[in-house]
């Protein structure tokens, strides 16, 4: 099973984060085979770290929770909140294999469906797929968010690699599931390739 682990940092923890970074890096080195993507979330101006996002493979939620609970960042109290959700990758490409582009920005679109999301998705599915297919060079990773049993789609995760935020904003604005009312909420945040 694949899991999205999104951590939001407490305010004003830069010094603590820097002090804990070596231990955090050593911790990440213990999970090379199961880590698909890992990196920090930043403010749009790329100046302040506000958390982290990882896509990782574990047999169940308990294992994913044990992993993030053991992270030195978590133990040091850096995170204000931790969100774990089941995720299904569309591409079999991991961060180590992704061909990075020069002078681009990375963003994460993290969206959750409305309560009747399944019914709302159905008439827009063809348009959504066509739209995604028209932008083949943007994606780092993408795939649906699922309930823990893996039976129902509850949202979407799309990581994009773009020239600037204007391009990212335009992509999200035109996404049929977004503008068509499937999502209850959708965030887009700056992300950077981190240590894997």
DSSP string, 20-85: HHHHHHHHHTT-TTTEEEEEEEE-TTS-SEEEEEEEEE-SSHHHHHHHHHHSHHHHTT-EEEEEEE
CATH superfamily of 105-191: Dimeric alpha+beta barrel (3.30.70.1060)
Indicate yes or no: pTM above 0.85.
Answer: yes
Domains 2-87 and 105-191 share a fold: yes
Which CATH code is given to the segment(s) 2-87?
3.30.70.1060
Per-residue pLDDT for 168 more than 90?
Answer: yes
Task: Quote the pLDDT of residue 196.
Answer: 93
pLDDT tier at 45, thresholds 50, 70, 90: confident
Please give the mean pLDDT across all residues of the chain. 96
**What number is the average pLDDT over the span 175-195?**
97
Task: Quote the pLDDT of residue 22.
Answer: 97
Per-residue pLDDT for 145 more than 90?
Answer: yes
**What number is the average pLDDT over the span 14-38?**
96
Strands (E), 77-182: 79-87, 105-113, 139-146, 153-162
Task: Quote the pLDDT of residue 44.
Answer: 86
Per-residue pLDDT for 24 more than 90?
Answer: yes
**Do 95 and 191 contact (CB within 8 A), yes or no?**
no
| Sequence spans of domains, the chain | 2-87, 105-191
**What number is the average pLDDT over the span 132-148?**
96
């Amino acid at each position: 099973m694949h899991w999205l682990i999104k951590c939001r940092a407490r305010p004003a923890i830069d010094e603590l984060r820097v002090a804990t970074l070596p231990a955090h890096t050593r911790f990440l080195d213990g999970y090379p085979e199961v880590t698909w993507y890992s990196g920090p979330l930043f403010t749009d101006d790329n100046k302040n770290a506000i958390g982290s996002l990882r896509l990782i493979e574990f047999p169940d939620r308990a294992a994913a929770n044990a992993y993030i609970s053991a992270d030195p960042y978590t133990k040091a109290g850096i995170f204000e909140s931790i969100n774990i959700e089941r995720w299904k990758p569309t591409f079999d490409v991991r961060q180590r294999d992704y061909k990075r582009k020069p002078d681009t920005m990375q963003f994460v679109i993290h969206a959750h469906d409305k309560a009747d999301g399944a019914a709302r998705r159905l008439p827009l599915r063809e348009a959504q797929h066509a739209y995604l297919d028209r932008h083949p060079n943007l994606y780092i990773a993408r795939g649906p968010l699922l309930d823990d049993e893996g039976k129902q789609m509850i949202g979407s995760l799309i990581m994009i690699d773009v020239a600037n935020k204007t391009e990212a904003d335009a992509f999200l604005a035109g996404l049929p599931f977004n503008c068509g009312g499937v999502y209850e909420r959708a965030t887009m945040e700056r992300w950077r390739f981190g240590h894997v």
